[in-house]
Amino acid sequence: MSAKKIYISADMEGITGVIHWDETGGNNPDYQYFRKIMTDEVNAAIEAAFEKGATDVVVRDAHGTARNLIPDQLHEKSKLIREWSKSPFGMMEGLDDSFDAICFVGYHAKAQTPFGTLAHTMSGAIFDLRVNKISMPEFGWNALIAGYFNVPVIFVSGDQALCDQAKQLIPEIETVAVKQGIGEASLNLHPKKSRQLIKAGVSRALDKLPKMKPFKLDSPYVLEIDFKKKESANRAAWYPGAERVGDFTIAVKCDDFLDCMRFFHLAY
């Protein structure tokens, strides 16, 4: 493996066992339990990276408050980014072109996905996010940010629906489904089994890194957001260069993807 510097973005809705919003934050005691499961799954990815020869692993806590991973239980050789800086990079904060590869852990399907576990796109305010007419889960949007820095996304774990969506965008990516939606319920692996599969999946992904390419779309970029509420659409429509293309849909055209990131950051 030639990769020495690995970036990991970790969400929570796609962690093994998580099935209800109460388990993803707040004062519910189950949240504390699933923080531990989340930390364990991220550690599995970190362990694979170091065993494959990585010298630097940076983890971005990318869920909710961005204060979910338990610092003293995270692999001691890794580095952790916590809290939100309020920059357009969001769940990819701290990424730059010095990284060799990116792994996503605990990701989930996009809003309005049948059988997606806690499916949503960034926030409860969005029905759909499209770039050049392609509907994007958070995975896709963050993969485009990675592509902006010319870094390939090589692995993702989460629910089965998310893994299917990831394969549609990046067919070569390694995926690990730790659960499968059954209506509002889900069928879950044992957490130990999930960790084993995540570690093995990251290892396989790093083995085939030389064949992986950054995820990019052709410029100019047309970004469209379908909002759930008119108040959100009304606000976003005031962004310079934005166009209202539907009652609840705002679009912006950008030559530089960073400008799309700025619009998205400020619009929602």
DSSP E strand stretches across 19-110? 56-61, 79-81, 101-107
Q: Provide mean pLDDT across the span 52-59.
A: 97
63, 108, 120, 265: the active-site residue: 120
User: Model confidence over 79-94: pLDDT tens digits?
Assistant: 999 999 999 999 999 9
Q: In the prediction, which pLDDT does 123 show?
A: 85
Say whether 75 is catalytic.
no
pLDDT over threshold 60, residue 78? yes
User: Model confidence over 4-29: pLDDT tens digits?
Assistant: 999 999 999 999 999 999 999 999 99
Q: In the prediction, which pLDDT does 267 show?
A: 87
Mean pLDDT, rounded, of the chain: 97
Hey, which residues does 157 pair with through a beta bridge? 176
Hey, which residues does 156 pair with through a beta bridge? 104, 175
User: Model confidence over 99-113: pLDDT tens digits?
Assistant: 999 999 999 999 999
Q: In the prediction, which pLDDT does 213 show?
A: 97
Rounded CA separation 69/243 (Å): 39
pLDDT over threshold 60, residue 1? no
Q: Provide mean pLDDT across the span 203-223.
A: 97
Q: Provide mean pLDDT across the span 144-159.
A: 98
Model's pTM, two decimal places? 0.97
Identify the structural domains of the chain with CATH numbers, from first to last. 5-211 (3.40.50.10780), 221-267 (3.30.1360.130)
Rounded CA separation 11/108 (Å): 8
Question: How many CB atoms are closer than 10 A to CB 171?
Answer: 7
Q: Give percent above pLDDT 70 in the chain.
A: 99
